[in-house]
A and B are shown apart, each in its own frame.
Chain A
Amino acid sequence: MTTMKSFLAGVQAQSPILIGAIPFALVFGATASSKGIPSIESMLMSVIVFAGAAQLVAVQLMASHAPLFVIVMAGIVVNLRFLMYSASLAPHLSEEPIRRRVLTSYLLTDQAFAICMAEFTRDARQVDRFWFYMGAGLTLWVGWQCGTAAGVVLGASIPAHWPLGFAIPLTFLVLLIPVLTDRPKVIAACVSGLVALAAHGLPYSLGIVIAAAAGILAGYYMETRR
């Protein structure tokens, strides 16, 4: 498939899911703004970090005057899943020159990961993987920046009782459902969810990492048991 067609295919695949990421960006923009972070700085954070869950955690810790070490560690721990995504995607992008690999790394998000893995493991059509990824990744990037800006500007106007924050787990839920294709995967998800509930109080968002590790091991064990 041509460069342009692959790029557009990526944009098209990502667009519906973008609708879920926008409220997430809005919540970040509004939260950062309400805690006292100036507009430009909030928007720059979305460019430099480009990871919603970590951005929110970091801003909340900044607001409670946590030490620098704690803020950064919590954000890194929340983002450890990107290392795992990177491991899964690496074989599909191994042919690309290093500059392209750095660029694709920067654009890696949960949404881009989900879309690209679904596409790259399909046999049906042969997209140019780099350009498909760029289509998906850039779509999300633009959406994220616009959402953040909107959140910063509109934040104060959003009624306090609108539960916009709920869009965040919903965004992830939409990415999760298509992945639960067999029993080991469902078990992995259940174990992860339960461990995450139990470990929620742990500092530095460690509960997430522990839950994910438990889920992966549980799923792998169930698969080898068959």
Chain B
Amino acid sequence: MKQVATDIMNHFWPAVILLGIGTLVLRGGFIVVMGQRMPSETMRRLLAYIPSAVLPALIVPAIVYGEQSYVIDGQKIAAGLIAGVVAWRTRSAIVTIATGLALLGAMRAWM
């Protein structure tokens, strides 16, 4: 048991520190560096698509696939679609997440 714990911790601190610094650089990239300069018109229009393009890249594979890539999980898709409708209708994070988790939990337990 102790051997396993030591193995995973081999790269822990270097990884965490490098990742922490790297992430801060990404986060601060424009906020700290840009100062007073405003982005160009084209830049601004491209930037407007960030939330609508970045979030689905995180959401869709996580809902469609199970533990393995390219293996489709029908229950998650169903729960995800219903949660999407709930999010659209209620605009409530609490209701959406509770509904999604409850639906998936129920399907896992009884199907």
Contact = CB atoms under 8 A, between A and B. Distances in A.
A86 B63 contact: no
Contact of B12 (A41, A76, A110, A164): A41
Interface string A33-62: 001111001001100111101100010001
A68 to B, nearest CB: 5
A20 interface: yes
Contact of A86 (B16, B29, B61, B87): B29
Contacts of A196: 56-58, 60-61
Category for how many chain A residues contact B? 35 or more
A80 B10 CA distance: 25
B97 A23 contact: yes
Contacts of A167: 97, 100-101
Interface in A96-154: 98, 101-102, 104-106, 108, 110, 113-114, 117
A103 to B, nearest CB: 10
A202 to B, nearest CB: 9
A169 B58 contact: yes
Interface string B21-48: 0111011111110111111000101111
Contacts of A104: 31
A83 B26 contact: yes
A159 B109 CA distance: 12
A189 B56 contact: yes
Contacts, number: 282
B87 A163 contact: no
A19 B93 contact: yes
A53 B32 contact: no
B49 A216 contact: yes
A170 B101 contact: yes
Nearest to B91: A178
Contacts of A48: 16-17, 19-20
Interface in A201-226: 201, 207-209, 211-216, 218-220, 223
A180 interface: yes
A53 B58 contact: yes
B53 interface: yes
Given A76-B19, A102-B28, A219-B52, 18 more contacts: A41-B12, A49-B20, A65-B7, A75-B22, A75-B23, A82-B26, A86-B26, A88-B48, A102-B32, A105-B28, A106-B28, A163-B108, A179-B51, A186-B52, A211-B57, A212-B50, A212-B57, A216-B50
Interface of A: 16-17, 19-20, 23, 35-38, 41, 44-45, 48-51, 53-54, 58, 62-63, 65, 67-68, 71-72, 75-76, 79-91, 93-94, 98, 101-102, 104-106, 108, 110, 113-114, 117, 161-164, 166-180, 184-186, 188-197, 200-201, 207-209, 211-216, 218-220, 223
8 contacts: A19-B97, A20-B97, A71-B11, A72-B19, A72-B22, A87-B47, A166-B101, A180-B52
